Amino acid sequence: MDGNGRWAKRRGLPRTEGHTAGENNLAEVVRVCATRNVGWLTVFGFSTENWVRPPAEVKHILSLHKRLFGRIEELNANNIRIQWIGRPFDEPGSKTPAFIQRAIQQAIDDTAHNTGMVLTVAFDYGSRAELLRAAQHARAQQHSGLDITSQEITNNLYSPELPPVDVVVRTSGESRISNFLLWQIMGSKVYFTERTWPDFDAHEIDNALKLVHAN
Ligand code: IPE
Ligand code: MG
Find the ligand nearest to 3 CA. Answer: 1
Measured distance CA(183)–CA(61) in Å, rounded: 26
Could you give the CA distance from residue 153 to residue 52 in angstroms, rounded to a whole number?
Answer: 29
Q: Rg of the chain over CA atoms, in angstroms?
A: 17
* Cα 205 from chain centroid (whole Å): 16
Residue 198 Cβ < 6 Å to ligand 1: no
Q: Note the ligand closest to the C-alpha atom of 57.
A: 1
Share of the chain above pLDDT 70, in %: 100
**Amino acid symbol at 72:** I
Ligand 1 and 44: CB distance under 6 A: no
State residue 141's pLDDT score: 86
pLDDT higher than threshold 80 for residue 194: yes
**Ligand 1, from 1, 4, 179, 194: best to mutate by most atoms within 8 Å of Cβ?**
4
CA pair distance 86, 183, nearest whole angstrom: 14
Asked if residue 72 lies in contact with residue 107, where contact means CB atoms within 8 angstroms, the answer is yes
Q: Active-site positions? A: 2, 50
User: Is pLDDT of 79 > 80?
Assistant: yes
Residue 144 has pLDDT above 80, yes or no: no
Decide: 179 in ligand 1 pocket, CB within 6 A.
no
How much is the pLDDT for 147? 85
Q: Residue 13 burial by CB count (10 A; 0-12/13-18/19+): exposed, middle or buried?
A: middle
Q: Residue 129 Cα, ligand 1 centroid: separation in angstroms? A: 20
Read off the pLDDT of residues 167-185 as tens digits, 9 standing for 90 and up. 999 999 999 999 999 999 9
**What is this structure's pTM?**
0.96
d(CA 202, CA 71): 20
**CA distance to 100, 129, 131, 161, per residue, from 138 (Å):** 29, 14, 10, 16
Structure confidence at residue 17 as a pLDDT band (50, 70, 90): very high
To test the pocket of ligand 1, the residue of 6, 23, 43 to mutate (highest count of ligand atoms within 8 Å of its CB) is 6
Q: What is the mean pLDDT of residues 85-105?
A: 96
**Nearest Cα residue to 85 out of 136, 124, 58, 118:** 124
Atom of ligand 1 nearest to the CA of 9: 14
Ranges 85-94, 135-144, 199-208, most confident: 199-208
User: Closest Cα to atom 9, ligand 1: which residue?
Assistant: 2
